[in-house]
Chain A
Amino acid sequence: MTRHRLFWPGLILILLLFSNLFFTPDFFSIQVRDGHLYGSLIDILRLGAPLILVGLGMTLVIATRGIDLSVGSVVAISGALACLWISRLPDMNQLSGVLVAIVLGVLLAVALGLWNGFLVAALGIQPIVATLILMVAGRGLAQLITSGQIITIRSSRYALIGAGYWLAVPFSILVALGVFALAGLVVRRSALGLLLEAVGGNPEASRLAGIHSRRLVWLVYGFSGLTAGIAGLMISSNVSSADGNNAGLWIELDAILAVVIGGTSLAGGRFSFTGTVVGALLIQTLTTTIFTIGIPPETTLLFKALVVTLVCLLQSPAFRAKVLYRRRRPGPAEPSPSQPTSQLEVAG
Chain B
Amino acid sequence: MTTTALSTGTGRHLYRPQQKYIPVLATLSLLVVMFTVGSLRYENFGSAQVVLDIFIDNAFLLVVAVGVTFVILTGGIDLSVGSVVALGTVISADLLQVHHWNPVLVIGLVLLIGATLGAGMGAVIHFFEIQPFIVTLAGMFLARGLCYVISVNSISIDNHLYVRLAQTQIPLPGGLHVSPSVLISLVVVLIAAYVLQLTRLGRTVYAIGGNQQSAVLMGLAVGRTKILVYAISGFCSGLGGVLMSLYTLSGYSLNAVGMELDAIAAVVIGGTLLIGGSGYVWGTVLGVLTLGMIQSLISFDGTLSSWWTRIFIGALLFIFILLQRIISVRRT
Interface of A toward B, CB cutoff 8 Å: 67, 123-126, 128-130, 132-141, 143-144, 147-148, 244, 253, 256-257, 260, 266-267, 296, 298-305, 308-309, 312-313, 316-319, 322
Contact = CB atoms under 8 A, between A and B. Distances in A.
Nearest to A128: B133
B253 A298 contact: yes
A139 B307 contact: yes
Contact of A302 (B141, B264, B313): B141
A300 B142 CA distance: 10
B261 A135 contact: yes
Interface of B: 77, 124, 127-131, 133-135, 137-142, 144-146, 148-149, 152, 253, 261, 264-265, 268, 274-275, 305-311, 313-315, 317-318, 321-322, 325, 329
B142 A125 contact: no
Contacts of A299: 145, 148-149
A308 B261 CA distance: 21
Contact of A136 (B127, B145, B310): B310
Chain B contact residues, majority secondary structure: helix
B141 A129 contact: no
Given A301-B141, A318-B129, A140 B310 contact: yes
A313 B145 contact: no
B307 A148 contact: yes
B137 A253 contact: yes
B145 A301 contact: yes
Contacts of B261: 132, 135-136
B129 A316 contact: yes
Contacts of B141: 253, 301-302, 304-305, 308
Nearest to B268: A129
Given A133-B314, A299-B148, A302-B145, A312 B138 contact: yes
A137 B310 contact: yes
Given A136-B317, A141-B311, A299-B148, 14 more contacts: A125-B322, A126-B274, A128-B274, A132-B265, A132-B317, A133-B317, A136-B310, A139-B310, A298-B145, A305-B139, A312-B128, A313-B128, A313-B130, A318-B128
Contact of B128 (A244, A256, A260, A316): A316
A312 B133 contact: no
A130 B130 contact: no
A144 B311 contact: yes
B307 A144 contact: yes
The 8 closest A-B pairs by CB, nearest first: A137-B314, A140-B310, A298-B148, A302-B145, A301-B145, A143-B307, A305-B141, A305-B142
